[in-house]
Amino acid sequence: MTPKAIFFDLDGTLTDSGEGIINCATLALEHFGLPVPSREEMGVFVGPPLDHNFMKFGVPADKTQEAIDVFRSRYLVVGKFENAPYPGIHQALDTLKKQGHRLFVATSKPEVTALEVLAKFDLTDYFEVICGATLDGTRVHKADVIAYLMDKIGTPENILMIGDTEFDVRGASAHGIATIGVAWGYGKVEEMEKAGAIAIAHTMEDLIKLINQ
């Protein structure tokens, strides 16, 4: 087994943050008097940058920052903790660390919030470096976050991205990094495969086996 540098997404990969994100996105759509789709449809808000999905659901392009501000007015107080680690994630991370892998976080969630969430659920110490987006919009997309992470740590050999959406796959691919998708998150398996995911993990045990292949 060759030790790897593993870049983990956060929302939909390490923690099930759907409840808080969907509740806050609902508030933002209601702010504009827009129809609110089913909670299943609203699951697309988990992971990708918010502006992309607000436009998808009818927010004008020049109003996306206002929508994000409304979202954050609830999320930064309440929504960020309407969240829970996926069952088995602590054990999986512990196993990977003991196997000699280096673990990192690369998330499109604002970095300051990611740090709070990881600390809340006792996940921080598994990771060497935690990188996320900025609140001012200067670093938003997954490819930008990965570039920022690699600026901090250099370019390790044998990097893998672990994420639950096509945005994780495409963001990693922009840097020549392969992605293992996880099926327990909010993205669609077929979209991750179409984007180029090298494998899909359906359980934590699957994930560990795929990483070690």
In a shared domain, residues 201 and 140 = yes
Q: Which residues are catalytic?
A: 9
Mean pLDDT, residues 55-62 taken together: 95
pLDDT one-digit tens code per residue, 19-33: 999 999 999 999 999
In a shared domain, residues 37 and 128 = no
Q: Which of 66, 81, 96 is the last residue of a domain?
A: 81
What's the pLDDT score for residue 137?
83
* Domain encompassing residue 167: 5-16+84-211
175 or 40: which carries more pLDDT confidence?
Answer: 175
DSSP state of 182: E
Beta-strand relationship, 178-182 and 199-201: parallel
Question: Which of 171, 177, 180, 173 has the alpha carbon at shortest distance from 199?
Answer: 180
In a shared domain, residues 141 and 65 = no
In a shared domain, residues 107 and 37 = no
Question: Which of 118, 100, 90, 129 has the alpha carbon at shortest distance from 17?
Answer: 118
Contacts of 118 (CB under 8 A, 6+ apart): 10, 14, 105, 124, 127, 130
What's the pLDDT score for residue 106?
98
Query: Is pLDDT above 90 for 1?
Result: no
What's the pLDDT score for residue 153?
95
In a shared domain, residues 9 and 24 = no
Question: Which of 159, 148, 81, 151 has the alpha carbon at shortest distance from 118?
Answer: 81
pLDDT one-digit tens code per residue, 99-126: 999 999 999 999 999 999 999 999 999 9
What's the pLDDT score for residue 20?
94
Q: Which two tokens stand for residue 4?
A: 């790897």
What's the pLDDT score for residue 86?
97
What's the pLDDT score for residue 100?
97
What's the pLDDT score for residue 14?
98
Runs of H (alpha helix) within 128-198: 142-153, 166-173, 189-195
Instruction: Give the separation between CA 179 and CA 43, rounded to whole angstroms.
Output: 21
Beta-strand relationship, 84-85 and 15-16: antiparallel
Domain holding 173: CATH number? 3.40.50.1000
Mean pLDDT, residues 87-110 taken together: 97
Mean per-residue pLDDT of the chain: 95
Q: Which of 35, 54, 81 is the last residue of a domain?
A: 81
Query: Is pLDDT above 90 for 182?
Result: yes
Query: Is pLDDT above 80 for 47?
Result: no
Burial of 88 (0-12, 13-18, 19+ CB in 10 A): middle
pLDDT-based confidence at 52, cuts 50/70/90?
confident
Query: Is pLDDT above 90 for 193?
Result: yes
**Amino acid, single-letter form, for residue 76:** L
Q: Which of 81, 101, 121 is the last residue of a domain?
A: 81
What is the count of structural domains for the chain?
2
- Kindly report the backbone phi and psi dihedral angles of residue 163, in degrees, each rounded to the nearest multiple of 5, phi listed first: -155, 175
pLDDT one-digit tens code per residue, 138-166: 998 999 999 999 999 998 889 999 999 99
What's the pLDDT score for residue 48?
78
Q: Which two tokens stand for residue 78?
A: 């309440």
